[in-house]
Amino acid sequence: MAEPFRHHHRVTYAECTIGDHIYHSRYLDLLEAARGEFLRALGQPVLELQNADYIFPVIEARLRYKVPARYDDWLTIEVWTTRLQGVRVNFGHRILNQHGKLLLEAETFHCCTSRDEKPKRLPPELVGKLRPFLVE
């Protein structure tokens, strides 16, 4: 397997609660941003896939919160694939802070569909680019 893709993010004040930690649902936004940058880095930007009539709605998400991220933390969000089969693509994620401390582990489950939400096989070119990042 190739090294996981890494995306960086500085925690903003707007993402935090009064308790000075990222609000739990904001982690989903961070994972989405990292997946988008992962696909862009592979030469398959989300907008290009969408224009070719492929979308990848999240059908399930599992997040395990370990330690909260705090305002101004510098995060590394790692992304890799955990399943590539038929109409399914799943992604594994880890978020670490600037000290390398594990903050979150997650997996998102996606179904490939057309824009009118009919299931559609994963595009072969995308499968080929994601396969080196596959960890089953």
Which residue has tokens 């009118």?
116
% of the chain residues with pLDDT over 90: 97
Structural domains in the chain, sorted by start: 5-133 (3.10.129.10)
Q: Please give the Cα distance from 111 to 88 (Å, whole number).
A: 5
Per-residue pLDDT, 136: 81
Percent of the chain with pLDDT over 70: 99
Amino acid code (one letter) for 120: K
> What pLDDT is stored for residue 1 in this prediction?
65
pLDDT digits (tens, 9 = 90+) for 54-111: 999 999 999 999 999 999 999 999 999 999 999 999 999 999 999 999 999 999 999 9
Is the predicted pLDDT of residue 25 greater than 80, yes or no?
yes
